[in-house]
Amino acid sequence: MALTPAGCECATLVDVAVRDSAVALRTVLDSMERLDDAAVREPSHLPGWTRGHVLAHIDGVGSALARQAERAAVGERVPVYDGGRAGRDAAIDAHAGRSAREHLQALQALENRLPAAWPEPGSAGWENPAEYRQGTVADAALAWWREVRIHLVDLDAGVGPGSWDNALCTHLLEFLEPRLSDAGTVILVADNADVRHVVTGNGSDVAVDVHGTPDDAAVTVNGTPDDAAVTVHGSLQDLTAWLAGRNSALPRAYRGSAGAELPELGPWPSSR
C-alpha cells in the first residue's frame, strides 16, 4: 500500500524530506572526515554492527531508493534490492570492511546521484509507481529520509535523536504507529511541542477523548472509559526515538495517575 496520498498532496512533506535527507547525508560525510579505519571498525549503536556496517547500509539503501526513482522515471518497476533481503544483507557484510576512504568515496558518489534521481519539486514524477512498498517515488524519498536520519544516529558519531526536527518526528510517529497495534489505546503526548498522537488497536473509526494531564489522564473510547489506556509523554524527539527503538531518554508512561510500564513494541512495519 502506498504511504502517500493520491494526487501528491504530500508535496510539501516530500520537499522537506528531500532537503533534510541531503543535509543528513552531508552530516554523515562530514563525520566521515573525522573517522579513520580503526574508528570505522568500532561498534555502532546497532547491536552486532560496526560503523562500517552502518555506512555500508546507508550507501546500499540510498542507492536502492535512488534506483527506484531512476527506473520509475522510464516506466519500470524494479526490486528494491537485487536478491531481496538476503541480497541486501550480503551486500552490507561485503562492504562493511571498506576502508574509511572507500566508505567516504561511496557516499560522495551517492550524494551526487540522489539529486539527479529525484523528480523536480512539484513534478508529476513523484506519483510514478515504484516497487518500494508498492507505492510511488514519493514513498521512496520519504523512506530515504527516515533511513538516513535514523542511521546517522546509529553511526555513533556525535549526532543523536535531538537532531530530528518536528516534521521528521511527526512523520516517524505515523510510520511507526503499527509497532503499537497490539498495545491497546496509547496516547503519545509531546512535552515540547503541540503534538498528541493517539494509537488504538480498536480500529481507525474510534473516537478517543482524553481529559486531565498526561500523568493523570481519563481516557474514553467511543464514550466508554478505558482504564487500560496508557499515556506516554516526553519530548517529541524522545517519544519518536523510543518508538524507533533508538537509545534516548525514555519517555514516561502512566495509566490514569499511576506509573506504568512502557508498552511493548512490535516489529518494524513490514514492507509487505
19 and 141 together in one domain: yes
Is residue 217 scored above 80 in pLDDT? no
65 and 94 together in one domain: yes
Note whether residue 28 is domain-resident.
Answer: yes
Cβ neighbourhood burial of 267 (10 Å; 0-12, 13-18, 19+): exposed
| pLDDT reported for residue 179 | 95
Of 159, 194, 210, the residue that ends a domain is: 159
194 and 134 together in one domain: no
The whole domain housing 70 covers 6-159
Note whether residue 266 is domain-resident.
Answer: no
> What's the pLDDT tens digit per position in 84-102?
999 999 999 999 999 999 9
| pLDDT reported for residue 203 | 53
190 and 252 together in one domain: yes
- Answer yes or no: pTM beyond 0.85: yes
Of 124, 159, 194, the residue that ends a domain is: 159
Note whether residue 1 is domain-resident.
Answer: no
> What's the pLDDT tens digit per position in 2-25?
344 333 344 589 999 999 999 999
175 and 224 together in one domain: yes
C-alpha cell at 201: 488497536
Closest to 92 in 3D by CA, of 44, 144, 57: 57
Give the CATH number for residue 192: 3.30.1050
**Minimum mean pLDDT range among 134-138, 198-202, 255-259:** 198-202
Of 159, 177, 212, the residue that ends a domain is: 159
177 and 152 together in one domain: no
132 and 222 together in one domain: no
122 and 195 together in one domain: no
The tally of domains found in the chain comes to 2
Note whether residue 51 is domain-resident.
Answer: yes
C-alpha cell at 128: 510514478
15 and 110 together in one domain: yes
> What's the pLDDT tens digit per position in 104-160?
999 999 999 999 999 999 999 999 999 999 999 999 999 999 999 999 999 999 999
37 and 146 together in one domain: yes
19 and 102 together in one domain: yes
Give the CATH number for residue 116: 1.20.120.450
179 and 214 together in one domain: yes
More confident residue, 206 or 191: 191
| pLDDT reported for residue 214 | 66
